[in-house]
Structures are given as C-alpha cells and as structure tokens.
Amino acid sequence: MGNFIEEIIEKDLASGRVDKVVTRFPPEPNGCLHIGHAKSICLNYYGTAVKYGGVCNLRFDDTNPIKENENFVRSIIEDVKWMGWHGNIYYASDYFQLMYECAVKLIKKGKAYVDDITPEPMKEMRGTLTEPGVESKHRDRPIEESLALFEDMKNGKIADGALVLRARIDMKSPNINMRDPIIYRVLKATHHRTGDKWCIYPMYDFAHPIEDAAEGITHSICTLEFEDHRPLYDWVIDECEFEKKPHQYEFARLNIERTIMSKRYLKKLVDEGFVDGWDDPRMPTIAGLRRRGYTPSALREFCERIGVAKANSEVEVGQLESCIRDELNAKAPRAMAVLDPIELKITNLPDDFEEEVDFEINPNDENAGVRKVKFGSLLYIERADFEAVPPPKYKRLTPGAYVRLKGAYIVRCDGFEEENGCLKRVLCSLVEGSKSGADNSGVKAKGVIHWVNAADAVPAKARLYDYLLLPYDGVHEDFSERMNPNSLIEKNAYVEPYLAQAKPLESFQFMRQGYFCRDNKSEELVFNQVVGLKDTYNKK
C-alpha cells in the first residue's frame, strides 16, 4: 500500500482527472537547500513524477527580491541535479505579467480592491478565531478607482507600503486567510532576474496558485502549514478562471532532532560565523551533507525509510546516519589511518626491514580482493591502543600482552619509552610464524589493532564532527545558546599512502575509527568523518 499521495494520484489517474502527473519543487532562492528540501524533492520527483511517468518542474519562487539572489539559484540547481532530478526550470518571476493581469481581472470582477492599510491596523482589523474581522472603508471603493490606483502602484507613483491590493473575499470567514488577504504590495527593489521592471510584487498565496496553473501542475504538494491556505489557493484558481485546476495536498514536514531546519536560521549560522559556510560538513544542508560524504542514494534511502505522513513528528538523527553507514559498510574500501599517533618499534626486526602484507579491501564485498600494504619495523599506532597500567579486560597493548597488527603479525609488548614524562614509543617483539593468513605460531592474540607503516606514512588531517547543537535542556530555546563547542575536532593523523590517492568526496572505512570522506575543498589531505561505526539507532 502506497502513501496517501500515491493513493490520491492513482485515483486521479484511474478516474481520468489527470492523464499525466505534473508536480513541482518550488524553492525560494533565499538560502541553500537542506535535508527537508531533499525530502520534498524525493516526494515530488522520485515518489510522484518518476513513479507515475510524469514530470517535476524545478520552479524558483522568486517573488521576494529583497532576500533572494542568483548565487542561491545556482546552488539550488546544483543540489537538485545532484539529487538526480531532471526536468525543466521555471521562475515565478517569468509569470509577473500573468500575475499582474490576473490581479487586474480580479479588480474588474469586483474581487479585489486597493487599500491604504498598513501592517498594524491590518493585524487588528483581521479579527481572531472567535471574532470576525472589520471591513476596510475602501472595501467598496469603485472598481475604476481601484484600477487607477493599482496602475499608480505599478507605475512607481506610490511609496513602498502606502497602498496594497487586497482580495475581496469575506471578512467574516472562519478562516482568517480568507479575510481579504493582501495579494500585491509596492516594493521598489531590484529583482535578480527582472531588474527594475516591476515595483509591485505578488504575495505568496496569490502567486503560487497562478504559477501552478500556468505550468499545468496536477498535484501541488506542500507542507502542512499551508493546509489553512488551501481555500485561498482554490479561490485564486477559480476567480482567475484557470481551466486546468491544480490541487494542493499537504504532508508533514521533516523535522530531525537537534537539527536546525529553517533557511533563516541556517543563514544566521553562516552569516554570524558559527560555521564555515553553507557547505560546512556539520550543516544539514544538501551541500553540507554532500561535503560530509553523504550520497544521493543514502538521502533517498532515508526519505524512503521515514515515509510520507500527514502528522508532524521528529525523526532521530541516528536514522539518517544509519542510511549512509549501511551504504558505506557495503561499499567503502577499508583502510588504515592513525588519528592520534604514537610510535610502535619492533625491536627484533632490522631497522630497514620491509615487507608487503595483504590487506582485505572490503570483507563485505567478495569481489573487492586485497591490496598490498608495506610493513616495517617502525609503525604508528593509536595512543589509546597502549596502556602501561591496563584497566580490567583490556585487550590491547600493555607490557606482556600479545596483540595482532591488523593483516600482519602478532607482536608481544615488551615495554615503552617516555620522553619528559610522556609516552613516546611502545616497544614490541614480533612473534615468529604469526603472519596473518599463515599463522602457525600457536600464540593467541588478545585483540587486533590497526597501524600505519612509519616509512611511507602520509600526514593528513582528520576532522571529527559532533552535532552543531547541544541537546535541548529545557531552558535554552535559542540555538545560539546551544552551540556545541566541540562540534569540530581536527586531528593530525598518519594515513596509508593508499589514502593519499583518494579523490575528493571518496569515502573509506578507517578501520576501527569510522567512515571518512576526502574533503573537496582543502588543498591539503583532509578527511571528514562521515559517520561512526556504531549504529545507535537500529541497536535500540
């Protein structure tokens, strides 16, 4: 059984209300897209247009020249295409003439009038849920007068905000959106596409249905906040006398715990320097997720798993993470990187000892095979893999313990060297005959640790990420008081030379550390942590 949108579409196709599904994804170019938009793209494009052999337009809702710009348009196109979308691109601003004509038509029908109301009295006169609104003294102004004033608005003769065009519907309507909403305003601002051609701009509730009708949209899918606007949507379509009538359907927007999902706030994070741009890997933007190492298929999988609902809810971040983890677990090559290095010296090998050992590229992919890794007498290991005084059940290096070096030999820890009171190097001896895959030593290792051969180790930076926001403590509502000071920790690591060949955005499993993806911006060798190894979501 499909989701409720699919049920509606299947019924419409069966009854002949539509013969081809046409949807749209309508971002406002006032910020970069976030994961909530990815959900909308998945629903409008994959779940609807692609599934039923229709089309999905990318349409920029560029009706507010003050907040919108060309850079956001470009980044949105890049992101939507990256998600796999194909189709035609439209702009609401292409319909400004049509919208203007629709407005004139409404005035001529007595369905719109010019008013001089300003925001404060507008709010007061709108009434409340229990009290009807108050009619403006200009509500019954002659049609000719409204037409002339609207022309003055259009021709730049009216100051910003001095006059508005209002739909003439019903001040007593139980739906406040129907109480003579403003449909056009004067705004002397330069638009990024139409320049100074217009100094009147349509309001969203008036513009959106016209855009949909102009493109022959059959199913106009939006989030639940617009449910109460649907009567106005239908009113505009009817009164402007469009023959093909698009229908609006609402679904629950995506909310993820500890995740900011509003362009306005994301913009604040960028503008106030909390993050390093819209594509900072900590950002829940599509650009940030891409740079973090997420793939379009993982985002689609996430949208599949969470489904489409009619009731708002909050998704756990772990659910998103498990999608990319599952994908990388199946696909990502394994490699060794030491993020917090100390030396391990094998004392019973010559200093210049060198050998190649086989390293299994991916145990989950039988076709992946092995690759050769150099092994010598001096290695780097993780500082945490040695304890001079081990806690109970410690399975790693400690004097007297036997541990396997992943893919290579078992070593016995003999001791350690300090420098100025700090651990400098761990001293070990190699166990004869313990080579991985051909072990006849009879020695049992307590644990397995990863390592990097010092002779050909490559320095790299590893960026470890935590959530941008601390958990909500019931007090600090504002995100700027909940910023996690440890959301980024940079480590000076050593990695295998194999990893120095990584292409930007190529991902690997760093053995025992997590999944990492080569950064696509730094000149240096930088790896961003995609996600940890442990699944905290599915384990629950």
Q: Among residue numbers 293 through 312, which ones bind ligand ATP (CB under 6 A)?
A: none
Which helix (H) or strand (E) is 403 found in, with range?
A: strand 402-405
Q: Shortest gap between Cβ of 266 and ligand ATP (angstroms)?
A: 7
Residue from the set 39, 166, 179, 191 that interacts with ligand ATP by CB under 6 A: 39
The contact pattern for ligand ATP, residues 235-274, with x = CB under 6 A and - = no contact, is ------------------xx------xxx-----------
Residue from the set 6, 12, 28, 152 that interacts with ligand ATP by CB under 6 A: 28
**Strand, coil or helix: what is 48?**
helix
276 near Mg ion (CB under 5 A): no
Q: Shortest gap between Cβ of 167 and ligand ATP (angstroms)?
A: 21
36 near ligand ATP (CB under 6 A): yes
292 near ligand ATP (CB under 6 A): no
Residues 6+ apart with CB under 8 A from 50: 56
The conformation of residue 521, written as its DSSP 8-state character, comes to: S
The closest alpha carbon to 386, from 402, 378, 397, belongs to: 397
229 near ligand ATP (CB under 6 A): no
Nearer to Mg ion, 208 or 292 (CB): 208
- How many Cβ atoms sit within 10 Å of the Cβ of residue 408? 20
58 near ligand ATP (CB under 6 A): no
Nearer to Mg ion, 222 or 531 (CB): 222
Show which residues are catalytic: 28, 253, 263
The conformation of residue 195, written as its DSSP 8-state character, comes to: B
Q: Shortest gap between Cβ of 17 and Mg ion (angstroms)?
A: 28
> What's the CA gap between 145 and 107, in Å, rounded?
10
- How many Cβ atoms sit within 10 Å of the Cβ of residue 262? 12
Q: Where are the beta strands (DSSP E) in 187-329?
A: 200-202, 219-223, 247-251
Q: Shortest gap between Cβ of 306 and ligand ATP (angstroms)?
A: 10
Given phi > 0 = left and psi -120 to 50 = alpha, else beta, which region is 127? left
The contact pattern for ligand ATP, residues 59-98, with x = CB under 6 A and - = no contact, is --x-------------------------------------
Beta-ladder partners of 381? 342
Q: Which residue is nearest to Mg ion (CB)?
A: 28
Number of residues counted as binding ligand ATP (CB under 6 A): 15
**DSSP line for 126-181:** T--SSS-----TTTT--HHHHHHHHHHHHTT-S-TTT-EEEE-S-TT-SSGGGSS-
28 near Mg ion (CB under 5 A): yes
Q: Shortest gap between Cβ of 30 and Mg ion (angstroms)?
A: 8
378 near ligand ATP (CB under 6 A): no
Per CB under 5 A, the segment of 21-29, 45-53, 293-301, 486-494 that binds Mg ion is 21-29
**DSSP line for 240-253:** TT-SS--EEEEEPP
209 near ligand ATP (CB under 6 A): no
Per CB under 6 A, the segment of 26-34, 146-154, 227-235, 503-511 that binds ligand ATP is 26-34
Which helix (H) or strand (E) is 430 found in, with range?
A: strand 422-430
Q: How far apart are the first and last CA of the chain?
A: 27
Residue from the set 27, 87, 284, 407 that interacts with ligand ATP by CB under 6 A: 27
435 near ligand ATP (CB under 6 A): no
Nearer to Mg ion, 31 or 341 (CB): 31
Residue from the set 73, 83, 199, 222 that interacts with ligand ATP by CB under 6 A: 222
> What's the CA gap between 124 and 122, in Å, rounded?
5
265 near Mg ion (CB under 5 A): no
Tell me how far the alpha carbon of residue 189 is from its chain's centroid: 31
Per CB under 6 A, the segment of 11-19, 33-41, 208-216, 413-421 that binds ligand ATP is 33-41
Positive or negative: CA dihedral 89, 204, 152, 172? positive
């001040």: which residue's tokens?
171
Residue from the set 40, 48, 57, 528 that interacts with ligand ATP by CB under 6 A: 40
Yes or no: say if 38 and 76 are a contact pair by the CB < 8 Å rule.
no
> What's the CA gap between 115 and 133, in Å, rounded?
15
Residue ranges binding Mg ion (CB under 5 A): 28
Q: Which residues bind ligand ATP (CB under 6 A)?
A: 26-28, 36-37, 39-40, 61, 222-223, 253-254, 261-263
